[in-house]
Amino acid sequence: MAGDMLGAIEAGGTKFVLAVGPSPDRILARHTIPTRDPAVTLAEAAAWFAGQGGVRALGIGSFGPVELDPASPQWGHITTTPKPGWANCDVAGHLARALGGVPVGFDTDVNAAALAEYAASGKAGGSLAYLTIGTGIGGGLVLDGKPVHGIAHPELGHIYPRRHPLDEDFAGICPHHGDCLEGLACGPAIIARWGCSLSDLRADHPGHAIIADYIAQGCHTLFASVAVAEVVIGGGVAQTPGLVERVVERARALDAGYLPGGTRHAIIRPRLGTESGITGAMMLAESAAAEA
């Protein structure tokens, strides 16, 4: 059923965050459910929105990979995920039907977060990347004010950084690439090497510099390839005290004063804290409502 509110879902591999509100900056109610198989999870999400009086449009920022080509019959699907039951799942279509045919905006979770952080930056026409460093590494990209899709969507966690000299024996944990950025610097890769999270390593442990080096290389790649003004770093690992400062310092050293953006390139924590993803999903709903 269609209501007056915008609805939003931050769809993650372990939980779905649901929200409703009249606008992206005003969330009036929210609810978190665990991610189980699609039938159960999507039905529970739809039932919660119905219990809120329905929505007039829904925005979904989803874990992936996802299909974002509006011309594809698979648009709105999660595609090749190894997560049991979710491969080729029509998330957008299922929820649109369950909510009475409302318009649905659909993008990656990290593009949604990038959109929200971009809006919060107040810089119209600019550019921004959002990196999340947690159980995996993902990245969303807004260029000239628009989320970047390309022929699919960026997978910034899967670039290959140069190996740190103190880290040459670790094979990396990405099932596809081994020592890509995610395979070297996500939370599970840190635990695989050192047996604890980055925040639990003692302050003088070399792991701090190693992880900061890899993330700084990711930031440098974004500055050098698409000249974003800001790289916003979120996710659980990024909350390690001192990490973002180390990344800033290391990225400056890696660049050695070359890039023409100079000090206009910034690496920062999320302006919206942990609200970037759900706020971005609300923005996707707002856009879908405007286009309908």
Query: Where does this chain bind Zn ion (CB under 5 A)?
Result: 158, 174, 176-177, 180, 182
Chain position carrying tokens 């856009």: 287
Q: Which of 141, 137, 144, 73 is nearest to 107 (CA)?
A: 141
Residue type, 50: A
Nearer to Zn ion, 176 or 202 (CB): 176
What is the 8-class DSSP label of residue 165? T
The residue behind tokens 């049991």 is 84
The least distance separating Zn ion from the CB of residue 218, rounded to whole angstroms, comes to 12
Q: Residue 158 or 246: which CB sits closer to Zn ion?
A: 158
* CB of 18 closer than 8 Å to CB of 31: yes
Inter-residue contact 109 to 61 (CB < 8 Å): yes
Residue 167 CB, shortest distance to Zn ion, in Å, is 16
- Kindly tell me which of 115 and 186 has the beta carbon lying closer to Zn ion: 186
Q: How far is the CB of 161 from Zn ion (least distance, A)?
A: 11
Report the residue number, 162 or 202, with the smaller CB distance to Zn ion. 162
C-alpha dihedral, 74 to 89 to 91 to 132, nearest 10° = -100
If you compute the radius of gyration of the chain from its CA atoms, what whole number of angstroms results? Answer: 19
Tokens of residue 43, six digits: 């039905």
CB of 113 to Zn ion, least distance (A): 20
Shortest CB 174 distance to Zn ion, Å? 3
CA–CA gap between residue 234 and residue 132 (Å, rounded): 5
Provide the minimum distance between the beta carbon of 141 and Zn ion in the complex, in angstroms, as a whole number. Answer: 17
Nearer to Zn ion, 95 or 215 (CB): 215
Say if CB 23 and CB 286 are below 8 A apart: yes
Counting every residue, how long is the chain? 292
User: Judged by CB, which is closer to Zn ion: 179, or 286?
Assistant: 179
Strand partners, 208: none
Q: Residue 54 CB: number of other CB atoms within 10 A?
A: 18
Type of residue at 29: A
Please state the closest distance from residue 271 (CB atom) to Zn ion, in A.
28
Q: Which is nearer to Zn ion, 182 or 213 (CB)?
A: 182
* Residue 16 tokens, joined: 């779905």
